[in-house]
């Protein structure tokens, strides 16, 4: 298996101010490629002496350059993701932030079960984090300096499937990609959403039907740009494009 040697990019985001591309690589940690391309630079691969084992989702504060990202766990690597997804005891996942001025990654919150996608709100007041095993989205309120408030995260949304990445559109709304693992049975004629759009308060605005997996399944990302959805999958060899 070449993944541990070649790496596996799971989270991608451009810093709009610098055009630098930040990468959450499952094996190599937080990486960055400059506007001209080239070899990726490793920015961080550990925090407080504990290596990242499963770097996953990320988002960027374009005002400060701070990168928020997740390490899904310190026990299982991505190649053993099935073991992690079935584990009800692994609470080693972490939410982290990388400060480009200090050039250091610090732990914001630990004890999470398989944290995945990350999204920063439009006004930079909170973070959303996908909690894969629990099929939830957590909301973390941020302070003035971009760190967490002292209060515990709240449940932003309960989901019918396992969530993956979270992407915010230009209106400050959030698309959550739904991967696998339905809750309960679904009738053959009923909807089978592969993505759900939420407003900033956690109300559902739209559901994207997956046609029971005939076109898309194992969705990793739904990204809305100019009224067009770009849909990616862990298992499909193409990106879907859907006008809305």
Query: Which residues fall within 8 angstroms of residue 41, CB to CB, at 6 or more apart?
Result: 31, 32, 33, 34
Note the pLDDT of residue 5: 85
Note the pLDDT of residue 46: 95
Q: Which of 65, 61, 73 is nearest to 43 (CA)?
A: 65
State how far Cα 52 lies from the chain centre. 16
Pinpoint the alpha helices (H) of the chain: 3-6, 81-86
What DSSP designation does 142 have? B
Residue 61's CATH number = 2.120.10.30
Domain total of the chain: 1
Note the pLDDT of residue 87: 58
CA distance 3 to 62: 30
**Which residues span the domain enclosing 105?**
3-243
Pinpoint the alpha helices (H) of 7-117: 81-86
Model pTM?
0.90
Q: 3-state class of 225 per DSSP?
A: strand
- Please list the rounded mean pLDDT of every run of 10 residues in the chain (244 residues): 85 95 96 96 95 95 96 76 62 94 96 95 97 93 82 93 95 93 49 88 91 69 95 87 90
Cα–Cα distance list, 179 to 88, 132, 196, 218, 222 (Å): 18, 9, 11, 4, 11
CA distance 79 to 123: 36
State the maximum Cα–Cα separation within the chain, in Å, rounded to a whole number: 54
Helix, strand, coil tally for the chain in percent (to 5): 5, 50, 45
CB 25 within 8 A of CB 8: yes
Note the pLDDT of residue 214: 55
CA distance 71 to 115: 7
Note the pLDDT of residue 88: 64
Q: Rounding to the nearest 10 degrees, give the CA dihedral for residues 70, 76, 82, 85.
A: -50
């Amino acid at each position: 298996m070449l993944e541990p040697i070649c790496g596996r990019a799971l989270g991608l985001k451009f810093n709009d101010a610098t055009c630098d591309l930040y990468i959450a690589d499952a094996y190599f940690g937080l990486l960055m490629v400059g506007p001209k391309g080239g070899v990726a630079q490793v920015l961080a691969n550990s925090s407080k002496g504990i290596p990242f084992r499963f770097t996953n989702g990320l988002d960027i504060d374009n005002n400060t350059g701070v990168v928020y990202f997740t390490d899904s766990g310190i026990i299982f690597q991505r190649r053993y993701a099935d073991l992690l997804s079935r584990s009800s005891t692994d609470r080693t996942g972490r939410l982290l932030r990388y400060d480009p001025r200090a050039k250091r990654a610090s732990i914001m919150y630990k004890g999470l079960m398989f944290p995945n996608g990350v999204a920063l709100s439009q006004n930079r007041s909170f973070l959303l984090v996908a909690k894969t095993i629990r099929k939830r989205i957590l909301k973390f309120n941020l302070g003035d300096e971009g760190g967490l408030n002292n209060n515990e995260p709240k449940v932003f949304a309960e989901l019918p499937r396992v969530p993956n990445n979270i992407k915010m559109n230009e209106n400050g709304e959030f698309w959550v990609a739904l991967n696998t693992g339905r809750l309960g049975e679904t009738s053959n004629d009923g909807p089978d959403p592969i993505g759900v759009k939420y407003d900033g308060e956690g109300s559902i605005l739209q559901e994207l039907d997956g046609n029971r997996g005939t076109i898309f399944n194992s969705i990793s990302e739904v990204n809305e740009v100019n009224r067009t959805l770009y849909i990616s999958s862990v298992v499909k060899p193409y990106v879907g494009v859907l006008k809305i």
